[in-house]
Chains A and B, each alone.
Chain A
Amino acid sequence: MNATTGTLALVRLAWRRDRFTLPAWVLGLSAFTAATTALWANDFRDPVRMVEEARIAATSPGIRMLGLMSGPTVGAYAMVRDYVLIAVLAALMSTFAVVRHTRQGEETGRAELVGAAVVGRGAGLAAALVVTVAADAVLALALAFALVIAGQPAAGSLTAGAAVAAVGVAFAGVAAITSQLATSTRGASGLSAAVLGSAFLCAGIGNAAGSVDAGGTRVNGAWPVWLSPIGWGQQMRPFGGDNWWPLVLVGVSFAGCVGTAAWLASRRDFGHGLLRQRQGSPGAGRALRGPFGLSWRLQRGAFFGWVTGMLGFGLVMGGLTGQVEDSSGAAREWYTRLGGSDQILDAYRASVMQMAAMGAAIYAVQVLLRMRTEEADGPLESVLAAAVGRMRWTAGHAVTALLGVTGLVLAFAIGAGLTAAAVLGDPLRQVWTLVGAGIAQLPGVLVIGAVVIALIGLAPRAAAPLAWLVLIGSIVLGPLFGPTLGAPQWVQDLSPFTHSPKVPAVPMDASAVVALVVTVAVVTAAGLTLLRRRDLALPA
């Protein structure tokens, strides 16, 4: 028996477990790519407008952070808009898949059961990588197909698919290493996500610092892009030269990571990580001794991650303020429609703040669904068996969500205000205007939170999927997408975001805010009543 005995059986097991998850990722990413590309193919039928738009994308450093322009074609433009997002999601798909079949199995004890059978020490890791790389390969083909359907040339489409899958493969390798380092599933995914974050920054900074060629529609990245798998994929230049040689870098990186992971795996004990679990505190501090303290302790890691992300998002969006002021055509129209004002800067402020609010709503749902996890996994039993009522327990989580959402919106406002001030001056006023716009968005976000509490009270077992459905529905029907989709007004009105005041583009509408706040109060009260009356759905 050697180290990889039994890999094939484990591959079948992994595929059986992932037979819905991985196809859903691939289908979702492909459909998104096909839809957005078709949209732009329609927008830029006029080659003159295409060149104009390509120049904007190539010359503004803010957009260069997020995408690399390779020439005045629809395909190249689609890469500017979609590539980084899809590549990041492909990297997450790979990370989650590898961690799911390695570290998660060890953490839950499943791998112990498998490891006691005729299975080699390295078979688990090998099976995880086989399934993940296969999923990346399928993703490459599916994306190529999606781009061809959207009317793009086959060669560039295939390069684009490969360039995305390359990032996925590279991060399968990264996750193979982080799964050896961390002891927990969260830790392994988190480390890999941190590497992904720096890969994003290296590619973005490299492209932002790069130069534009004589035609003004093609960017040449500076050296930091070569430090990043996302940069490697961009340098494959789909629809702009189609270089395949950066795949060599991906191959070398993947082989190096897998070799390192295998070596690390042979040096550690089963179930342990190489990063030592730090000794923890022998007792609880003052801050932990109540339901709110507990909720905050459980959420603070995620909160700090979110706050950093929102601050970064704010810095980028604020940095684009100057270009928005100079923008024309479709982009200008989009912002003024979204912002509800032809004062382009105020419209822009209102619209980015709505995006930030939707991000904060994702966080609110995540925080509040922890209540359900606590119930389903069982720790809640010990809390409610102590002298804590259900109201006080809910309040602990609700306060964490409320403060968290406020913090996220403020972080975005501060980030966006500071970089906007770099262009427009007067940082205090910039920040202050955006803080006002952010606070105006809060009641809408809280409606989503209240609905989550109500769902937990009403239908505990279905609460999580329903909550995400409500959130996605509210975002899709809200001001960001609802009008584009041509949804009837009454359908758009179902989304709380539709009713959030578009401050500062339009004056504050007090009645809308009052209506939202009343909704929050009524829905929360209903949820609490249901929660107080029902049985707990504890594990057996």
Chain B
Amino acid sequence: MDTAISVHGLVKTFGTTRALDDLDLTVAAGEVHGFLGPNGAGKTTTIRILLGLLRRDAGQVELLGGDPWRDAVALHRRLAYVPGEVNLWPNLTGGEVIDLLGALRGGMDPVRRADLLDRFELDPTKRCRAYSKGNRQKVALVAAFASDVELYLLDEPTSGLDPLMETVFQDVVRERCRAGRTVLLSSHILSEVEALCDRVTIVRAGRAAESGTFDELRHLTRTSVVVETGRPLAGIGALPGVHDVRADGRLVRFSADQSELNAILARLVACDVHSLVTTPPTLEELFLRHYGTDRVDADLAGAR
């Protein structure tokens, strides 16, 4: 089986709110797939539908070859889940919760459990009421990764973790990936997704806005250029594919469409380049491009 998750035309409404509006999402088996979007875009709703906690209103959803609503229990033996907001039982200890969740899933590996507790530096004897948000997150992470399952559904799994623990988390995800497991990683932290994911789906307002590998998505965006030239760079702004020109004496900054780079570079060379810095588009920019304008749209929608 090559596809772990396949979602087509998924719709979910809560009252008058259309939380998911014709969402598509495809995750291949064995990949780490980033599921990116701002808060309220529908990431958690999608994952809860994949878990059979919510019913879909329309669309096709297939998870590990089964129907997430009908075959929930059987499918859940083959997956592990880390919720975005980890709510636990205040009077149970972290260790008890890890064992309980493992047992409910159908067993876990005690060696791996001990190893993960060690790496995440989690004290399992403390009661959950005494844990900070980050530590509750670690309980859920250990409980999930201690089970060797085919698919990990992680909903913003690093919220509350410090940078050191984020590194541990990334190591663990890479190990699982090398072992051939599939990971769906929902996040609004771009660096994390950039560091871990093979492919990414960007969701906004309940729809998949973009989907593809990073290289594919980078074609959609622009390269930042900072250039210092011997002769004044007159008229560069008039070239096709050049945007946002800001000149500071001989130092000029602009962004360039990747398809027009050759023509633009030829023009630069003609003006005697002293220094040139180009930066590949980061996911941040990609994101800003999607949501920078979307925020305006959302404001308009709210005003209506």
Task: Please give the residue numbers on chain A whose beta carbons come within 8 Å of chain B beta carbons, in ascending order.
Answer: 107, 183-184, 277, 279-284, 288-291, 293-294, 297-298, 377-379, 381-389, 533-536, 538-540
Contacts and interface: CB of A to CB of B under 8 A. Distances in A.
B53 A535 contact: yes
B31 to A, nearest CB: 21
B55 A535 contact: yes
Given A289-B100, A385-B53, 10 more contacts: A279-B125, A283-B99, A288-B92, A288-B100, A379-B89, A382-B83, A382-B88, A386-B104, A535-B54, A539-B85
B166 interface: no
Nearest to B73: A389
Contacts of A107: 129
B82 to A, nearest CB: 9
Interface size range of chain B in the complex: 35 or more
B188 to A, nearest CB: 15
Contacts of B124: 282-283
3 pairs of A and B residues whose beta carbons are closest in the complex: A378-B87, A284-B99, A280-B93
Given A288-B100, A378-B83, A379-B87, A281 B72 contact: no
B96 interface: yes
A377 B87 contact: yes
Contacts of A381: 48, 53, 83, 87
Contacts of B44: 540
A284 B96 contact: yes
Interface string B67-90: 000001110110001010111111
B127 interface: yes
B126 interface: yes
Majority DSSP secondary structure for residues of A touching B? loop
11 contacts: A279-B126, A281-B125, A282-B125, A283-B95, A288-B100, A383-B104, A385-B76, A386-B76, A387-B73, A535-B54, A540-B44
A538 B54 CA distance: 10
Contacts of A378: 83, 85, 87
**Which of A291, A379, A387 has the most CB atoms of chain B within a 10 A radius of its CB?**
A387
A386 B83 contact: no
Contact of B51 (A279, A291, A385): A385
Nearest to A536: B53
Contacts of A297: 92
Given A280-B127, A282-B95, A291-B104, A384 B51 contact: yes
B23 interface: no
A289 B89 CA distance: 14
A284 B100 contact: yes
Given A277-B127, A535-B54, A387 B106 contact: yes
A382 B81 contact: yes
Contacts of B54: 535-536
Contacts of B104: 289-291, 383, 386-388
Nearest to A298: B89
A289 B103 contact: yes
A179 to B, nearest CB: 16
B100 A277 contact: no
A385 B81 CA distance: 7
B116 interface: no
Nearest to B79: A385
B96 A283 contact: yes
A74 B65 CA distance: 76
Contacts of A184: 90-91, 129
A26 B88 CA distance: 36
B176 interface: no
Interface string B224-259: 000000000000000000000000000000000000
Contact of A284 (B103, B140, B153): B103
Interface in B42-72: 44, 48, 51-55, 72
A273 B101 CA distance: 29
Contacts of A539: 85, 87
A255 B92 CA distance: 37
B138 interface: no
B96 A389 contact: no
A485 to B, nearest CB: 41
A280 B125 contact: yes
B269 interface: no
Given A381-B83, A385-B53, A385-B76, A281 B140 contact: no
B33 interface: no
Contacts of A291: 104
Contacts of B140: 382
